[in-house]
Structure 1
Amino acid sequence: MKINNFFQTLPMYRALRLLTVGLFIGLSATSCDDDEVIIPPVTQQNIVQVAQSNADFSVLVAAVTKADLATTLSGAGPFTVFAPNNAAFAKLAGGPLDAFSSVAKINAVTDASQIAALRGVLLYHVLPSNVMASNIATGASTTARPASASGVNDNSIYLTKTGSNVFINGATSVVTADISASNGTIHAIDNVLLPPSQTIAGIVQSSAAASPAQFTQLLRALQRPAAQALLAAAASNSSNITVFAPTDAAFQAALTALNLQNVDQIPDATLVAILQKHIVSSGRVFSSDLVPGNVATLNGNVTIAASGTGFTVRGGSGTAANITPANILATNGVVHVINQVLLP
């Protein structure tokens, strides 16, 4: 009888056991939910905060603060900032922008015109959109800096992408790309970008009047009546050209080779042919755009060849010219200084 009673009660025992196990599991799950630590999402820093947290941007932060741009660059954006590192600002020491070369010097600036100039320089580093390095396209990009006057292109930067390398205005490199912020992206660069202030003709004229003077022979050649159209193109803000500009020593060597005493003795047709050989009319060709091969000028091709870390350019005859310095940005193009006249 006892055995029979045991087997009769076994199904009830099993049910009770299953209920107990179910309650335990349920209570355990509830207990785990109650004890779970919920981590709030991390709020990403904006561009100014990211720069403030990076010691290599301390001069940039001082400049942004002095120019009263911190609130702007902390806004919704989106922005892309090509951010000069401290070493880039240090390169300004001893030059016209020495006042912006260190934190201490920037903090000491009180002149309103200097602060306005600093603001313009900084805005020249900002694009009003979010552009990751993978989406950078070769060509011109309009910055947040207002143009100085109608029709004057002094607020565009020129990007070149070679593989994973990004260059700005020919000579400036992106050293660290895609630093993320809540309102855009920062790309660290190794130079302070300076907006152009003169046309190509203006650069030639001011260099000819400087001490020591340079481009006096080039200016004299361009001022010849036969070259009037070329001078007009070099002076027009609507132009978009590249000029290989021979030094005075280069012109003197060419005159010697031609058995002439001065530029005025060069026949009109020869003069124009020579000058046209130095002008690329298809746009701004920076050193970062150059590759070995031919480049079309107003008078046939010139030949580009690699030379060390740079390039040479050769006309139809004569010695190949070294390009140094390169990438002098103008409002209407770019100038590369060369040490030989390119002869047809």
Structure 2
Amino acid sequence: MMHWLKTLLTACVTAGLLAACGGGDDDPPPPPTIAALAQQQNLTALLAAANKAGLSATLANTSVSLTVFAPTNAAFNTLATQLGFADATAMVTALSPTALANILNYHVLPTRQTAAQLSTGAATRATAYTFDGSPATLAVSTTGGVRLTDAVLTQATVTTADVAASNGIVHVVNKVLVPPGVLNVVQMAQANPDFSTLVDAVVDANLATTLSGAGPFTVFAPTNQAFADIASTVAGLTPTQLSTVLTYHVLGSQVLSTQIPFGTPVATVSGQSITIQNTPLRIVDTTATPAPIAATDIRASNGVIHVISKVLIPTL
């Protein structure tokens, strides 16, 4: 009897020591770092951008615990073509390390947050990218999955959630998130498909180079629907008239929503004035129908965009 107890105790102690040392060969390996995980997931465009931006070491740092929204290669290619580059490789080559670092940091939360945790709490999350003295934020929606709204008012959907890493967690997303203050006003418009008609008109009027310059500018950006509402009118404009219409939407300085001089005529780059009213927020042009301002303060590197749902019509 004593011999049996001694044998049993020896077996238990041996099993305990094995467990304390990490177990047997059947135990799963520890999760990889975010950098290694991105390599495993074939997120090569993200890795190339991180390498040029000098962020590769951060993604491999095991002393941090981050949340990374990782765009797919297709997402990088989509943004690249929107901005006029051949592909993601060309875009990464063209953008500066600082610009890439700012874009990538906008995809990082400084703490580990699962999809379930993103579904609770505040409707916005502070990112690792600081703009204008404060962390830039992402709006989070969890209706029908996790969706993130960026600074240019476009949404990215989490396609693969909760990929565990040793230094945080990765959520794969189907779009590159566009931060405030990195791209110029033309590029910000290019990054939002709802401004494609405006972008085409700006290119046709040879204004893209000017609006990509130092500025600063304020652009009242009509949506595609706003242009569709007056399609026949726009089609009949001469190049000079089209330029007048477009510059009627531009101020030669940055005017944020908190700086709008309500009720006072404001001179546009066209040489004609508009008046901005409050409650409701709208712009009075030469027509009898004011233009509602649908969204404000889309911050670009050379100014600001305010979204309007009607094309402003100057005297032609």
Asked whether the equivalents of residues 254 and 341 of structure 1 are also in contact (C-alpha less than 8 Å), the reply is no
- Once residues 253 and 195 of structure 1 are traced to their aligned partners in structure 2, the CA distance between those partners, rounded to angstroms, is 35
Change (3 A) 1:44 1:29: same
| Amino acid across the alignment from 1:58 | T
Q: Please tell me whether the aligned partners of residues 159 and 172 of structure 2 are also in contact (alpha carbons under 8 angstroms).
A: yes
Of residues 147, 165, 175, the one that matches 1:166 is: 147
- Correspondence for 1:64: 50
Q: Deviations over 1:232-281 (max 9, x none)?
A: xx939xxxx9975765553465799xxxx9989xx9867587334x2146
Which of 33, 37, 48 is matched with 1:46 structurally?
A: 33
- What's the CA shift for 1:121? 1.8
Following the alignment from structure 1 to structure 2, what is the Cα–Cα distance between the partners of residues 100 and 126? 23
Deviation at 1:187, TM superposition (A): 0.9
Between structures 1 and 2, the one with greater helix share: 1
Letter in 1 for 2:70: A
Letter in 1 for 2:172: A
How far 1:335 sits from its partner (Å)? 3.6
CA distance in 1, matches of 2:124, 2:70: 18
TM-score between both structures, scaled by the size of structure 2: 0.56
What letter is aligned with 1:33?
Answer: C
Q: Structure 1: give runs of 5+ residues left out of the alignment.
A: 1-20, 216-233, 285-328
Structure 1 residues 135 and 245: alpha-carbon distance in aligned structure 2, compared to 1, 3 A threshold: same
Asked if 1:125 is matched to 2:107, the reply is yes
Q: For residue 32 of structure 1, what is the amino acid of its counterpart? A: A
Q: Residue 263 of structure 2 aligns with which residue?
A: none
Look up the SS of the partner of 1:191 in the other structure: coil
Q: Deviations over 1:133-173 (max 9, x none)?
A: 223256443322232xx47x894333333143423333311
Cα separation, 1, equivalents of 2:140 and 2:221: 16
User: Residue 116 of structure 2 is aligned with which of 111, 114, 134?
Assistant: 134
Q: Give the aligned partner of residue 320 of structure 1.
A: none
Structure 1 residues 155, 123: closer, same or farther in 2, change over 3 A?
same
1:274 is aligned, of 289, 301, 304, to 289
Q: How does 1:1-344 map to 2 (within 5 A)?
A: 21=1, 23-33=2-12, 35-36=14-15, 37-38=18-19, 40=22, 43-54=30-41, 56-75=42-61, 76-96=63-83, 98=85, 101-102=88-89, 109=93, 114-136=96-118, 139-147=123-131, 150=132, 155-169=136-150, 170-196=154-180, 197-198=183-184, 207=199, 210-213=202-205, 235=218, 244=223, 247-248=226-227, 250-251=229-230, 271=286, 274-276=289-291, 278-280=292-294, 330-331=299-300, 335=307
Larger Rg: 1
Distance 1:123 1:40 in 2: 35
